[in-house]
Structure 1
Amino acid sequence: MRVSIATAPGGTNPNEDWVAATPTLAVVLDGLSTAGLDTGCRHGVPWYVSQLGGHLVAALAEPGRPLADGLAEALEQVAALHPGCDLGNPGTPSATVSILRADADRFDYLVLADSPIVFERAGDCQVVTDLRVDTVVPELRAETEQFATGTPEHAEAVRRMVEAQRLTRNTMDGYWVAASTGEAARHALTGGVSIAGVRSVAVLSDGVSRLVTEYGTASWADAFAMLREAGADGLISEVRKTEATDPDGRRWPRFKSGDDATVAFCQLP
């Protein structure tokens, strides 16, 4: 594959996304917001995603290794790096994980939480994503939509929602993300797609995919056209232009005016 990558913070805080690529591998991580709540960890989310990303790429250096096995190993290795932190805290640093690996005739994928992988074919796009998080605490999610983004009322509503979400995180009745143990890897969506007919693949954090899925100002075909014409940076710029027309989140209610945004655009010869 020929892979181009880009990532940009959504505001003034450090970027909590992470991306890396090789000719056969693309990885995107999206660190979960803490909403100012205690995590039990002195390192923080940017540290966590950078450590997990590096260990994950190393764990998948062996061709053909199951992606879930590599993720489980990386999770355990990162947990061992900070034994002095309270890894049992429900808010321990965590992240979504999306992995794409290419071999001679197929793509393997792993998706854990809501950072999608999108396969582009002529006249068709196949989206692989994990939206289990959207099914928990819907009443608190709806409450956040009542207030303008950036107001104290909105921040407090988001804090209440995140606090409640944490209690369902990595439980059988909730949703799964990469956190402090390898168990989450067993709950990821995994599969394979034939390379035949695939024009390109985009691995995205939800800070980018929302241009299609939430804002509805572009189709997936439009997004791939932008990627080919303006590159990964250009697609992120389009997201920012769209968000600038609705800074208070009234048209498109959201948790932040702008979220961290990351793209790995994979093209085939």
Structure 2
Amino acid sequence: MAGSPTVAVVLDGLSTAGLPTGCRHGVPWYVAQLGGHLLATLADPEVSLSDALAQAVAHVAALHPECDLRNPGTPSATVAILRQRWGALDHLVLADSPVVLDAKDGYTLITDQRVDEVLPDLRAAVERHETHTPGHREALQRLVLAQREVRNTTDGYWVAGADPESARHVLTGTAKLGDVRSAAIMSDGVSRLVTEYGMATWDEVFTTLRSGGPHELIETVRRVEATDPTGLRWPRYKSGDDATVAFCTW
């Protein structure tokens, strides 16, 4: 493209599980600010996706220095970016909001599941309880407290928070635009239809996106989750997680 690139961004704020964060603004404010600064920075096609993320994280941190940004629970978010420029598609993934490419040779899922590799015993303790029960809530808080201690550390997993260092731990890549028919970036509250519930294939997901758009895909996820409202079949943190999809075609 000769002018500004075309960009799609999906951010998924991390749950606080009702625990303090050290920030008076909250996760929704953080996500809105990070998204706005990301889009502004990514308008320059010369800026790499990882550099844009680092700049955006630093900008948002500078907006609320009065908050305790060293608190391990400081508002944070997963990040997924797709940018079209110069006949190519650049992608960036930080944590478990994936980018899925519908290419000529099949579907490619780009996601970072490091959060699922840490604290397996505490994760299993959460999954032993049905959602919306005191035992589930207490186990989830124990897990989130422990996750905070390894969040954005070399022994744990990385998300966008207050330290631009997280942008050095992203997954990035580039594909030729002519090799990709369409793409979707989404929160894990949508991708789990395939990756965790096993109730659809990526081919079925993209068929739904082409026929009914993101709204229909999210409705499909909600219908599936409604058959297991307390997490007996698919143990999870919430009955239904936040669900966002950006469907890109050209």
> Normalising to structure 1: TM-score of the pair?
0.90
Distance 1:136 1:36 in 2: 21
Cα deviations by residue, 1:132-182 (Å, 9 ceiling, x for unpaired): 111110100011111111111001111100000110000011100000011
Cα deviations by residue, 1:76-132 (Å, 9 ceiling, x for unpaired): 110011111000000000000011001232111110000000000246100110111
Contact 2:37–2:59, Cα closer than 8 Å, also in 1 = yes
For residue 249 of structure 1, the aligned residue among 200, 221, 231 is 231
* 1:176 partner SS: coil
Superposition deviation, residue 253 in structure 1 = 0.4
Give the 5 Å matches for 1:112-127. 112-122=94-104, 124-127=106-109
Distance 2:32 2:25 in 1: 11
Q: Against the structure 1 CA distance between its residues 23 and 72, is the aligned structure 2 distance closer, same or farther, given a 3 Å change threshold?
A: closer
* 2:209 partner SS: helix
Distance 2:155 2:12 in 1: 22
Distance 1:64 1:180 in 2: 24
**Matched residue, 1:95:** 77
Distance 1:135 1:24 in 2: 34
**Matched residue, 1:70:** 52
**Matched residue, 1:4:** none
Give the structure, 1 or 2, with the largest relative contact order (CA under 8 Å, sep 6 or more).
Answer: 1
Aligned positions, number: 248
**Matched residue, 1:168:** 150
Distance 2:85 2:60 in 1: 27
* 2:178 partner SS: coil
> Normalising to structure 2: TM-score of the pair?
0.97
The runs of 4+ residues in structure 1 deviating greater than 6 Å are none
Give the 5 Å matches for 1:163-202. 163-202=145-184
Distance 1:244 1:178 in 2: 31
Deviates more, 1:249-258 or 1:102-111: 102-111
- The amino acid of 2:62's aligned partner reads A
Greater fraction of residues in helix? 2
Asked if 1:79 corresponds to 2:61, the answer is yes
Superposition deviation, residue 28 in structure 1 = 0.3
* 2:81 partner SS: strand
Distance 2:87 2:145 in 1: 44
**Matched residue, 1:226:** 208
- The amino acid of 2:54's aligned partner reads A
Percent of aligned pairs with the same residue?
63
Give the 5 Å matches for 1:32-43. 32-43=14-25
Distance 2:26 2:85 in 1: 35
Gaps of 5+ in 1: 2-21
**Matched residue, 1:263:** 245
- The amino acid of 1:177's aligned partner reads V
Distance 1:110 1:229 in 2: 27
Gaps of 5+ in 2: none
* 1:261 partner SS: coil
- The amino acid of 2:200's aligned partner reads A
* 1:196 partner SS: helix
Distance 1:23 1:189 in 2: 20
Asked if 1:132 corresponds to 2:114, the answer is yes
